[in-house]
Every structure is written in structure tokens, then in C-alpha cells.
Structure 1
Amino acid sequence: MLFILLISALLAWLVVRQYQKVSRLPPGPVSLPLIGNLPQIVFYLWSTGSVVSTLDLLRKRYGNIFTLWVGPIPHVSIADYDTAHEVFVKNASKYADKFHAPLFREVKKEQGVLATNGEHWQEMRRFALQTFRNMGVGKDVMEEKIMGELNARCADIDKAAVDGVTVSHAADFFDLTVGSIINSILVGKRFDENNKQEFLTIKNALDRAFELFTPFDLTVPSWVLKTFFPRRYENIMKVNDECKNFAAKEADLRYAELKAGKYLIDENNIHDFTDAFLLKIQQDGENSDFNIESLKTMIIDLWITGQETTTTTLISGFNQLLLHPEVMEKARKEVLKITKNGSRPLSLSDRSSTPYLNATIGEIQRHASILNINFWRINHEPTYMGGHPVDSGAFVTAQLSALHVNDTIFKNAETFDPERFIRDEKLLQKVIPFGLGKRSCLGESLARSELYLIFGNLLLRYNFKPHGKLSTTEVMPYSFAKRPFKLEMEFLKI
């Protein structure tokens, strides 16, 4: 009898405590002590068929700011641009700390920019941004590099043409183009047909890593994976090491030569990110921030953010253009007019003169919206967001996938309609695939340049037709990030 009373008292206390916590947070599904909303989350994922559909359902049911309890921790999702801007831009410093999944922390070992906070993250981000500026990202120097890689890929396409037509998997074309750009920036080495296998080794390792990670891996403690799923844990760690070692092979070799006195870096002649990083080591010696393991982690972090997201957006974009040939033709006519009927390549300086192409790329990014689940920030003190109280200790994020399908912001959100941004020019700023605030994507400037130059110049050079079926069905609807479609298309030389 006493035992039953104790259990009843404990349960009553947990329920009251949970109710008190819920009252200090935005609305959401009824949560239970300890397990939170896990049963509902599983049901919603099953019934809606994807992470994005689940988040959109919750937004419609509970408003643009809603709370989900993942176990005992509340996660506050913001699916409204104005509130997200208020929280993460106007109060950027308060939300600079990201929650990092226990597995990510173990994989990254508190190094790099993807899974760190505090002084190390600030130092690595500051160094990377300064290095990219010095290397000309967003300027003429980087435009030349992007166009050089695009020209090389187009030469391969033209060489393989039969009667003016080349059939290619979009992933093969864009992976190698974007991968070569980012690799030349990071380690000064580009990819072509002669060393394509090296690129494929890195890319295949990255693909395996993306396919392995699930929301489950990102929420449970590492010891759970080690104890109950040891093979899965070992596989994840193995794939991560393979990715890092392949991507940073050139940096490893150069570091060994630097230590042996066989390689000296001229600060007035920096070739790539690795040179800049090793120069810092050469000048100041190794420390907790600048060392070879930190460099290798930075390279794979930048590889992931600079290659995967841009490639997926390009593939998604051409899939949409093939589904909507009238949009493709209208964008082509605009680009032809600006370049005097294709007598010169499209340049970054043309951006202000191509409103329809800009709108088309914006709509492509809105639909692609790579992250199904955005990275969480830590709320360190009680505050209000969009009129709702948010207690300290909660995780908060601008849930980009839900924001980009929010039909109160984007009318008929499921429709692919670049004209929406012509009708309302200010609407384009609410497409935020690179995030907001201090944790926004490091490679935003490079990615925007790549998307504009690649989309625009390919439309100048080729007509495109689908080779096989087209689809917008998600490849991995339950993963934390979208995977590109298996798109095969025909390049028809203009």
C-alpha cells in the first residue's frame, strides 16, 4: 500500500512539474513527464510521411511558434520569418551557442565549426571568414574559379555528345563541378576526368555518412549507441574518419613537409585555405585551436557545408525547371537579353539586371530547403518570443523547412512559382536557406555565387530535357537533411 502511495505521489509530482514547465513555453501537443512528445512524434511522422509534413502540421495546429518535448527537453520551433529575425539577428549574441548532439560532439572532438561553441568556434569562424575574404570569395577571383570549373565540365559534356545531345546524371555533373570548386579553395586541388576517382571516394564516404545519420542518432546519448547499437556506432565513427582523412589528405601531406622543413609558406602568396591555416601554425606554433587535427576537421566541415548543400540545390533546381519548362524558358530569355544573345557569359555583375533569374533561384532554394530539421540553439535565460514565454534551458531554432512551406508567408506554398517574388520583392528576403544570425552558413557568399553563375550560364549554353521520369518525392523523408533526386537529363547544345 505504501509503495502504491509513493508511486502515485511521484507520478502526481511529475505531472504537476511538467504542467509548470509547459506553462512557461509556447503551445504544443500535450506532453508526458520524462518521455515528452515522443509517442506523438512517432505517430505524426508515420501518418504524414515526412519530417517536413509533421512540422507543417504542428505549425498549422499550434501556430508559428510551437514546442515539442523530445524526451525531457523542450524544443521550440519558429516557423515565422519576423520572429526568427527578431530572435536570431537582433539578439544574435544570445543565441550563438548551438546544441550539439552527443554523437556529433564525439565525432568532432570539440573541433571545427559544425559542432563547437565558445571561443574555439568563434576563432575558427572568424579565421575562415577572413581567409575566404582574402581569397576573393564573392569577388572576381572567385567568379573566375567557378567559371573555370563550369567550363571544364561543359567541355566534358560537349565531348561526349552524340548528334549534339549528351545524357548525364545530374548528380555526376554537379557533384564534380561543385566538389572541384570547394576542393581547390580548401586544398588547392581541382578534380577532372583524370583524378575523378579521388573525388568519388570522398563523395561516396560523405553519402554513406548522410544516409547513416537519423534523428534517433542525433538525440540519444552516445553510450546508448555504444551499448545497444555497437555496430551502428562503430560504422558511424568509421565513416566519419574515412571522410575526414580522404578530404584532408593533401593537408596531411603538406603538414608533414612543413614539420620536416621541406615546405615554407609565403604569407604574400597564399594558395588555399590549408596554406592560410598552416601559415598560422608556422608563425605562432601549434595550440588548442590551430593544429593538424583541427585543420582536418575544418576541411571536412567546410567540405560538407560547401559541397553537399549546393549540389542538392542544383539538382533540385533542374528537376523543378524540367517540371516547369515555361519557367526555364522565361529565365533563359532574360539571360540571353542581358548577355546580348549569349555573346558573353553571365557575370555576377549582372545580378541586378536579372530579376526573374534571381526569383527563380529563390524559389528553387525555397523548395529545396535542404535541412529537414534545423540545428538547435540554447536559450540561456527566460525570455519572450513572438509573445510567448520561453524558459531557460529550452532549445530554439528557426525551423527553415516549416518556414519555407508556411502558407501564411508564401501563398500556395506547394506551388513552384517564381513570380511570387516579382509581385512582392521583399518576400525574397524571407527565403533563408543559409540560416540567420551568427550561426548562419559560412559558405553563403560562395554558394550564392555558384548558384547564380551555374544556373544562368547553363541556360545560356544548353536546352534541357528529362531522360526518364521526374519526381518531387523525398528520397529520405525522415532524415535530418534532404538527399538529391536521382535525376537524369539531356544536355542539348544551343
Structure 2
Amino acid sequence: MIFILLITVLLAWLVVRQYQKVSRLPPGPVSIPLLGNLPQIIYYLWTTGSVVSTLDLFRKKYGNIFTLWVGPIPHVSIADYDTAHEVFVKNAGKYADKFNPPLFRDLKHDLGVATTNGDHWQEMRRFALQTLRNMGVGKDVMEDKIMEEFNARCADIDKAAVDGVTVSHAAEFFDLTVGSIINSILVGKRFEDNNKQEFLTIKSALDKAFEFISPFDMTVPVWVLKRFFSQHYEKMMKVMTECQDFAANEAVQRYKLFKAGKYVVEKDNVSDYTDAFLLKIQQDGENSDFNLESLKTMLFDLWITGQETTTTTLISGFNQLLLHPEVMEKAREEIMKITNNGSRPLSLSDRSSTPYLNATIGEIQRHASILNINFWRINREPTYMGGHPVDSGAFVAAQLSVLHVNETIFENPQEFNPERFISDEKLLQKVIPFGVGKRSCLGESLARSELYLVSLLGQIHIFVQFFILQIFGNLLLRYNFKPHGKLSTKEVTPYGFAKRPFKLEMKFVKI
């Protein structure tokens, strides 16, 4: 009898405590003590078929700011641009700290910039931004680097052409183009015939890893993965460790020469990110921020963020253009007009003269919307968001994938329609594929440039925006594109934390 009474009192206390916590948070489905909303989340994932549709269902039911309890921790999702801007831009200092997934902490030991917090994150971000600026990211010198690599890849395409037509896997073309540019920026080495196959092998393994790494893997303690899912854990760690070693291999060799006194960095002759990092050590000595392990982790973070965001957007973009050839033709006509019928390459300086291309890239980025689930920030003190109380200890995120399909912002969101940005220029500001606030994507500038120039249709990340713009635009100047095999907009990883591009094959038809 006493035991039953104790259990009853405990359950009552848990229910009252849960109710008190819920009252200090935005609305959401009824949660169970300890389990939270996990039963509902699992059910709707199964019935709707994807993470994004599940989150969108909760948005429609509970509003643009809603709470889901993942176990005992409340997660507040923001699917409204104005609220996201208010929280993460105007009050950016409050939400600089990210939730660091245990899996990443086990791999990177709280080093790098992607998921770390505090003084180390601030120092690494500050150094990376300054180094990339010094190297000309977003300027003519970076545009020249992108075009040099772009021309080399197009030469390979032309060389393989039969009657002016080359069939290629989009992923291989874009991976090599983007990867080579990023690698040259980070370690001063591009991918050529003697080393490109190793890169493609590593990249293929990374792609497969992204397909089987789930939100579950990103949230549970590492000991759970090691004990109950040991083979799965070892497989994930093996792939990520191999990728990190590959990204840092050139830098490690240079570091060894540097420590042996056989390599000295000249202050006025810094050729890549690794040189800049070694110069910092050369001037100030090694410390907890600037050392070999930190260098390896930073190279991995920059390589992953720049590579994945850019290539995923480019592949998704060309898939959309092949599905909507009228959009491709209209963008090409605009580019041809400002480049005197293709007599010169498209430049970043042309961006103000290509409104339709900019709109097309914006629509591509809205549909590509890389993250199914955005990285969570930690709310440190009680506050209000969009009129709702948000208690301290809650995780908060602008859920970009849901924001980009919010019909109150983007009319008929499932349609691919660049014209929406022509009729409302301010709407383009609400496409935020790289996040908002202090923890937005470090590679945004580079990504945006790449997109515009290769098709002048795009923008992404300090690494990714610079690419997409250049690659999109200039590809449209040189080639017409046709599908080779089926086309589809079906989500490849509907239950993953990040989107994976459709495995697209296409014909490059020389213009």
C-alpha cells in the first residue's frame, strides 16, 4: 500500500512539475514527464514521411513558435523570419552558444568552430574570418581562383565530349570543382589526375555517412551509441576520422617540417589558411587554441561546411533547372545580354544587373534548404520570443527548413517559382540557408560567390556563396543542360538531420 502511494505521489509530482515547465514555454503537443513528445514525434515521422513535414505539421497546429520536448529537454522551434531575426540578430549575444552534439565532441574534443562555444570558438572564428578576408574571399582574387578551377573542370568536360555532348554525374563534377577550390584555399593544393580519385573516394564515404547519421545520433550520449549501437558508432567515427585525416594530410606534413625548422612562413607570402595558422604559431608560440589538433579540426570544419553546402545547392539547383527548362532559358538570356552574347565570363560585379539570376538562385536555395534540423542554441535566461515566454535551459533554433516552406511567407511554397522574388524584392532577404546571427555559416561569403559565377544563380556561405554564384552563371554561358535518366525532387534522406542531393546525371551540351 505504501509503495503504491509513493508511486502515485511521484507520478503526481512529475505531472505537476511538467505542467509548470510547459507553462513557461511556447505552445506544443502535450508532453509526458521524462519521455516528452518522443511518442508523438515518432508517430508523425512515420505518418508524414519526413522530418520537415513533421515539423511543418506542428507549426501549422501550434503556430510559428512551438515547443517539442525531446525527452526531458524542451526544444523551441522558430519558423518565422521576423521572430528569428529578432532573436538571433538583434539579441545575438544571448544565443551565441550552440548545443554541441556528443558525437562531435567525441570526435573533435571541443576544438574547431562548427559546434564549439566560448573563448576557443570566438578565437577560431575571428582568426578564420580575418584569414579568409586577407586571402581575398569575396574579392577579385578569389573570383580569379574560382574561374581558374572552373575553366580546368570545363576543359575536362569538353575533352570527354562526343559530338559536343558529355554525360556526367553532377555530384562528381561539382564535388571536384568546389573541393579543389576549397582545398587550394585551405592547404594550397588542388585536385588533379594524380589525387582526385582519392578525394572522390573519401567524399563518397562522407556522403554515405550523412545518409545514415540521424538526429538520434546527434542527441544521445556517446555511451549509449557505444553500448547499444557499437557497430553503427564505429562506422560513423571511422568515416569522419578518415575525412578529417584526408582534409588535414597536407597541413600535417607541412607542420612536421615547420617544427623541424625546415619550413618557415614569410609574413608577406602567406599562400593559404594553413600558412596563416602556422604563422600565428611562429609569432606567438603554440597554445590551447593554436596547435596541430586545432589546425586539423579547423580544416575539417571549413572543408565540410564549404564543400557540403555548395555542392548540395548546386546539384539541387541543376535538378530544378532540368525540371523547369523555361527558368534555365530565361536566366541564360539575361546572362547572355549582359556578357555581350557570352563574349566574356560572368563576374560577381555583374550581380546587380542579373535580377532574374539572383531570384533563381534564391529559389534554388529555398528549395535546397540544406538542414532538415538546424543546430540548437542554448537559452541561458528566461525571456520572451514572439510574445511567448521561454524558460532558461531550453534549446532554441530557427528551423530554416520549415521557415522556407511557410506559406505565410512564401505563397505556394512547394512550387519552384523565381518570379516570387521579382514581384517582392524584400522576400529574398527571408531566404536564409546559412542561418542567422552570430552562429550563421562561416563559409557563407565563399559559397555565395561560387553560386553566382558558375551560374550567377546563387549564393551561399564564406566558402559557399562565393562559389555558387560564379559556377551557376558561367555554366549557363557555356552549356545547355539536359537530363540523362530520371529526375526527381523526392527527399533522399527524409529522416536525416541534413538533406542529401538527388543522384543526378546530366548532359553537358556545348553552346
Q: Shorter-chain-normalised TM-score: which range? A: over 0.9
Matched ranges for 1:49-448 at <5 A? 49-448=49-448
Give the alignment partner of residue 477 of structure 1, picking from 482, 494, 511.
494
Structure 2 CA distance for aligned equivalents of residues 252 and 311 of structure 1: 26
Distance 1:329 1:344, change over 3 A: same
Determine helix, strand or coil for the equivalent of 1:302: helix
How far does residue 105 in structure 1 lie from its aligned partner after superposition? 1.1
Structure 1 CA distance for aligned equivalents of residues 204 and 411 of structure 2: 38
Determine helix, strand or coil for the equivalent of 2:68: strand
Whether the aligned pair in 2 keeps the contact of 1:28 and 1:62 (CA below 8 Å) is: yes
Structure 1 CA distance for aligned equivalents of residues 473 and 204 of structure 2: 28
Superimposed CA distance per residue, residues 66-96 of structure 1 (whole angstroms, 9 cap, x where no aligned partner)? 0000000000000000000000000000000
Aligned partner of 2:468 in structure 1 is none
Whether the aligned pair in 1 keeps the contact of 2:27 and 2:65 (CA below 8 Å) is: yes
Determine helix, strand or coil for the equivalent of 2:218: coil
- Structure 2-normalised TM-score? 0.96
Determine helix, strand or coil for the equivalent of 2:216: coil
Establish whether residue 465 from structure 1 lines up as the match of residue 495 from structure 2: no
Q: Which moved more, 1:195-204 or 1:60-69?
A: 195-204
Q: Which moved more, 1:99-108 or 1:230-239?
A: 230-239
How far does residue 237 in structure 1 lie from its aligned partner after superposition? 2.0
How far does residue 155 in structure 1 lie from its aligned partner after superposition? 0.5
Whether the aligned pair in 1 keeps the contact of 2:335 and 2:346 (CA below 8 Å) is: yes
Structure 1 CA distance for aligned equivalents of residues 149 and 428 of structure 2: 28
Superimposed CA distance per residue, residues 46-68 of structure 1 (whole angstroms, 9 cap, x where no aligned partner)? 00000011111111110000000
Determine helix, strand or coil for the equivalent of 1:216: helix
Distance 1:205 1:290, change over 3 A: farther
Whether the aligned pair in 2 keeps the contact of 1:208 and 1:239 (CA below 8 Å) is: no
Structure 1 CA distance for aligned equivalents of residues 33 and 165 of structure 2: 61
Structure 2 CA distance for aligned equivalents of residues 224 and 338 of structure 1: 58
Structure 2 CA distance for aligned equivalents of residues 478 and 288 of structure 1: 37
Whether the aligned pair in 1 keeps the contact of 2:95 and 2:377 (CA below 8 Å) is: yes
Determine helix, strand or coil for the equivalent of 1:67: strand
Structure 1 CA distance for aligned equivalents of residues 204 and 247 of structure 2: 12
Whether the aligned pair in 2 keeps the contact of 1:383 and 1:390 (CA below 8 Å) is: yes
How far does residue 115 in structure 1 lie from its aligned partner after superposition? 2.0
Determine helix, strand or coil for the equivalent of 1:224: helix
Structure 2 CA distance for aligned equivalents of residues 486 and 226 of structure 1: 32
Structure 1 CA distance for aligned equivalents of residues 195 and 240 of structure 2: 22
Whether the aligned pair in 1 keeps the contact of 2:34 and 2:72 (CA below 8 Å) is: yes
Q: Match for 1:184: what amino acid?
A: S
Structure 2 CA distance for aligned equivalents of residues 214 and 431 of structure 1: 25
How far does residue 446 in structure 1 lie from its aligned partner after superposition? 0.3
How far does residue 273 in structure 1 lie from its aligned partner after superposition? 0.3
How far does residue 209 in structure 1 lie from its aligned partner after superposition? 2.9
Whether the aligned pair in 1 keeps the contact of 2:172 and 2:200 (CA below 8 Å) is: no
Q: Which moved more, 1:82-91 or 1:237-246?
A: 237-246
Structure 1 CA distance for aligned equivalents of residues 144 and 17 of structure 2: 60
Whether the aligned pair in 2 keeps the contact of 1:363 and 1:416 (CA below 8 Å) is: yes
Q: Match for 2:192: what amino acid?
A: D
How far does residue 104 in structure 1 lie from its aligned partner after superposition? 1.5
Q: Match for 2:307: what amino acid?
A: Q
Structure 1 CA distance for aligned equivalents of residues 247 and 279 of structure 2: 20
Structure 2 CA distance for aligned equivalents of residues 25 and 325 of structure 1: 46
Q: Match for 1:459: what amino acid?
A: L
Whether the aligned pair in 2 keeps the contact of 1:202 and 1:247 (CA below 8 Å) is: no
Structure 2 CA distance for aligned equivalents of residues 126 and 155 of structure 1: 37
Q: Match for 2:476: what amino acid?
A: L
Q: Match for 1:116: what amino acid?
A: T
How far does residue 206 in structure 1 lie from its aligned partner after superposition? 2.0
Q: Match for 1:63: what amino acid?
A: G
Superimposed CA distance per residue, residues 93-152 of structure 1 (whole angstroms, 9 cap, x where no aligned partner)? 000000111112111101001121000000000000000000000000000011111111
Whether the aligned pair in 2 keeps the contact of 1:166 and 1:492 (CA below 8 Å) is: yes
Whether the aligned pair in 2 keeps the contact of 1:99 and 1:375 (CA below 8 Å) is: yes
Q: Match for 1:212: what amino acid?
A: F
Structure 2 CA distance for aligned equivalents of residues 355 and 38 of structure 1: 44
How far does residue 483 in structure 1 lie from its aligned partner after superposition? 0.6
Equivalent residue pairs, number: 494
How far does residue 468 in structure 1 lie from its aligned partner after superposition? 0.7
Determine helix, strand or coil for the equivalent of 1:481: coil
Structure 2 CA distance for aligned equivalents of residues 240 and 432 of structure 1: 27
Q: Unaligned regions of 5+ residues in structure 1, if any?
A: none
Structure 2 CA distance for aligned equivalents of residues 470 and 235 of structure 1: 31
Q: Match for 2:131: what amino acid?
A: T
Determine helix, strand or coil for the equivalent of 2:215: coil
Q: Unaligned regions of 5+ residues in structure 2, if any?
A: 454-470
Structure 2 CA distance for aligned equivalents of residues 168 and 52 of structure 1: 30
Whether the aligned pair in 2 keeps the contact of 1:468 and 1:488 (CA below 8 Å) is: yes
Structure 1 CA distance for aligned equivalents of residues 277 and 35 of structure 2: 45
Whether the aligned pair in 2 keeps the contact of 1:171 and 1:486 (CA below 8 Å) is: yes
How far does residue 429 in structure 1 lie from its aligned partner after superposition? 0.2
Q: Match for 2:423: what amino acid?
A: R
Q: Which moved more, 1:8-17 or 1:100-109?
A: 100-109
Determine helix, strand or coil for the equivalent of 2:481: strand
- Give the superposed CA RMSD: 0.8
How far does residue 197 in structure 1 lie from its aligned partner after superposition? 1.5
How far does residue 240 in structure 1 lie from its aligned partner after superposition? 1.9
Structure 1 CA distance for aligned equivalents of residues 204 and 341 of structure 2: 39
Bigger RCO (CA 8 Å, 6+ sep)? 1
Whether the aligned pair in 2 keeps the contact of 1:205 and 1:242 (CA below 8 Å) is: no
Whether the aligned pair in 2 keeps the contact of 1:201 and 1:246 (CA below 8 Å) is: no
**Aligned residues with identical type, % of pairs:** 83
Structure 1 CA distance for aligned equivalents of residues 277 and 46 of structure 2: 46
